[in-house]
Amino acid sequence: MKKTSRLMALVLAIGLLSVMLVSCTKTPSDSNTFKDLAKAKDYTVEDALSQFTDTPQIKEVFIAYPQGRPFQIEFYVVDNSDSARMIFNNLSNVIEKQKGNVHSGFSVSGKNYAKRTMTSDGKYTMVEFIENTLVYVPQTDSSNKSEIEKFLDEMKY
């Protein structure tokens, strides 16, 4: 009898955990949050939408450049989550091709988001989407990783 109760409790716990993992969602930040945080950190922010005139699904693009450090953080708003997922997948393929001899990575996904990071041969890159927004950090020196991740944490991304 006790074995049956324990088994049922375990099955119930696994079922609840599965439902929670499948239904995990995140709330996206908007371009104003991105720009405000970047400016508060004294980053230069540029509107780069004009570089994507032949990509109509991209609605907004802002790039933040910290002064004196050679990396950038790109923020995109696209027309829908399917477009964001497609761009995410394309950029994930770019990240995969940059994989060197010594590498580590991290991938996570939920109902309305996915994130991929790669540290390889002293370089760091990442891409993440939430609903119809996307953040991309092109390959940079891995010494910039903690600053980038702190920025994204503060942005709640």
- The tens digit of pLDDT for each residue in 111-149 reads 999 999 999 889 999 999 999 999 999 999 999 999 999
Relative to beta strand 123-130, strand 44-47 is unpaired
What's the one-letter identity of residue 34?
F
The residue ranges of every structural domain in the chain are 24-154
**Do 60 and 36 form a contact (C-beta atoms < 8 A)?**
no
pLDDT digits (tens, 9 = 90+) for 57-106: 999 999 999 988 889 999 999 999 999 999 999 999 999 888 877 788 88
Give the pLDDT of residue 69. Answer: 82
Q: Report helix, strand or coil for 69.
A: coil
Pairwise CA distance, residues 88 & 114, whole Å: 8
| Cα dist from 145 to 6, 33, 141, whole Å | 45, 21, 8
Give the pLDDT of residue 81. Answer: 95
pTM of the model: 0.82
DSSP 7-74: HHHHHHHHHHHHHHHHT---PPP-HHHHHHHHHHTT-EEEE-GGGGTT-TTEEEEEEEE-TTS---EE
CATH of domain 24-154: 3.40.1000
Tell me the average pLDDT across 24-52: 94
- For 19, the token pair is 């439902």
**Do 130 and 113 form a contact (C-beta atoms < 8 A)?**
yes
Pairwise CA distance, residues 99 & 119, whole Å: 8
Give the pLDDT of residue 100. Answer: 78
Give the pLDDT of residue 80. Answer: 96
Give the pLDDT of residue 2. Answer: 54
Give the pLDDT of residue 16. Answer: 45
